[in-house]
Homo-oligomer: A and B are copies of this chain.
Amino acid sequence: MSLRNTLDFLLYDWLQVQQLSERSRYADHGRETFDAVLDTCERIAADKFAPFNRLVDTQEPHFDGEKVVLPQATYDARQAYADSGMLSAAQDYALGGMQLPFVVESAANTFFAKASISIGSNMLTTGNANLLMAHGTPLQQQVFAHNEFNGRFTGTMCLSEPQAGSSLSDVATRAVPDGADFEADPLGARYRLRGNKMWISSGDHELSENIVHLVLAKVPDASGKLVPGVKGISLFIVPKKLVDSQGQLTGERNDVALAGLNHKLGWRGTTNTLLNFGEGQYPVRGSAGAIGYLVGQVGDGLRCMFHMMNEARIAIGMAATMLGQAGYEASLEYAKNRPQGRPLGAGGKDAAAPQVAIFGHADVRRMLLAQKTYCEGALALNLLAARLVDEQHTGGEGSAAEAKLLLEVLTPIAKSWPSEWCLEANSLAIQIHGGYGYTRDFPVEQYWRDNRLNMIHEGTHGIQANDLLGRKVRMQDGAGLKLLTQRIEATAAQAQQQPELAGLAQQLQAAWQVVLSTTEQAWQWGDANRTLANAVPYMQGFGHVVLAWIWLDVASAVVASSGAALDAKAQGRLACAQFFFRYELPKIGAWLQVVQTGDTTCVDLIDEGF
């Protein structure tokens, strides 16, 4: 199918991931084993996820007074995913894992994201366990992480609070040592937590034996005060049900209580919760507070949590991309089968002629090609980012360091760009369907609703933009930006050898120079507030040039891997590259201009003027 064909090209012809088998960790792998994983995931997604995507939208999670009720399809989908081994796909063989590269794991997960983004929330469980593998004690890994990989437990991330969304320095959940012997617990230093956590995905359900909450909280100082800022934040494992050091449930419910389910615009298959920690609803072991086990050091919680941030942000970018792709495929199918109107002939329209499929109308083709360009470009970017994660973990020393640096710069784009443009793709998919697209009889309205979340969670657009302009392009004296410049120049140099792409290469180089000079100009005011006032337009312009680079690099691979005659799919990919350079890249001027001038229109207006 369309997605699989694209994945095959991007993985094997463009990123050459089969070469990873030359590395010892992946020595057993090659295109055959990778393909087998892709085949399995594509099949499970088609059988257990896609047919129930509308069902989980209409049968929202609800609380029956004792527990959260979810449709049977959600249980079946989760079980099938756990049985596939994908929860531990990247783990060591010794842990029952497949030692699969992250890029292949990411590619395989696209099928699930496309089939039903909200029925599963496996990314959180895997991410939670990965964090513990990096920062937990051996026993924490064994008791919690291993049981997440094998499917017994699921995991969450508990960062936000009702009064502290993006502003984590204002976390008010308190953690105090649990008794004099608090440091002697084999599961880790034991604390009692009290506080409220908001927006917790998969925060309560009966899908698994237990739920492993990873909770940010602050340990009060000697005077009982919380340390202001993010430096005071620590990280705790807070299981819904207490376990012994063998990972068996002790039969004790921890004091973690569902305070409410959030009723959302979309993404309704996943519970999203407000949780109360230690408010006394389930008193445990005779004193107040939910029991939690410290991960890492006191005050080091945010650094630990950020361990999983790059991968989580790539996963969100991929989620946005696959919602876009789902809409593209649905609207392409609709366009091929919906007769309506007639082409213009030399003498106008012949009203007596039969209607044609709307696929024949230029404006519909424009909306289809735009979707294809947004979604396949975003997919390529996210696969590249995932490939960089592998390089960071298994590449040679210099190569790993470069990958890490490049990833820092690209992650805000890998997360934000698909969230914005694949949402636009979903709007175009609705438009192609006309009135039918506005009804719930067709899937595209749900994709659009589901996708709207992606500009908000895992760091809003504004947060990503501040991260990019405020930190990433400046870190280490702009080392990340210089490295990206090298990569862009390398792509341009290669494309300049390909006659059909030489013009695009020059456009890319010119556009990148504008980004570089804009970055310089942005910081000329000596006033971070003025600079960051236009961080989002900066990110939009930066992102569009990154995508132009991605498309040129992909196009270059198309030309290099094709013979004299391009097949239809190769023509499609080249058309996307052309579309991007002709219809999209020229947009950067409007975004970057306000950064260059340090425009202050929005901050200058007095409050009463709004």
Contact = CB atoms under 8 A, between A and B. Distances in A.
A155 interface: no
Nearest to A430: B452
A601 interface: yes
A264 B440 contact: yes
A297 to B, nearest CB: 19
A533 B609 contact: no
Nearest to A604: B575
B535 A363 contact: yes
A228 interface: yes
Contact of A351 (B230, B535, B571, B590): B230
Contact of A263 (B439, B532, B534, B575): B439
Contact of A582 (B164, B342, B578, B599): B599
A18 interface: no
Residues of A contacting B: mostly: helix
A198 interface: yes
Interface string A364-384: 111011001000000000000
A579 interface: yes
Contacts of A449: 265, 449
Q: In the complex this chain forms, how many copies of it are found? A: 2
Given A366-B536, A430-B452, A435-B456, A352 B265 contact: no
A341 interface: yes
Interface in A543-580: 568-569, 571-572, 575, 578-579
Interface stretch (A277-285, A403-411, A460-468): A460-468
A537 interface: yes
Given A362-B603, A430-B452, A610 B572 contact: yes
Interface string A155-167: 0000010011111
A601 B170 contact: no
A355 interface: yes
A448 interface: yes
A372 B601 CA distance: 13
A457 interface: yes
Given A430-B452, A456-B434, A536-B366, A344 B528 contact: yes
Contacts of A582: 593-594, 597, 599, 601
A452 B441 contact: no
Interface in A446-501: 448-449, 452-453, 455-457, 460-462, 465-466
Interface string A201-239: 000000000000000000000000000111000000000
14 contacts: A166-B340, A167-B340, A167-B342, A170-B355, A263-B441, A363-B462, A363-B532, A363-B536, A431-B461, A568-B608, A569-B609, A575-B602, A583-B590, A589-B589
Query: Which 6 residue pairs are nearest across A and B when measured between Cβ atoms?
Result: A229-B351, A572-B609, A362-B533, A568-B608, A586-B590, A228-B351
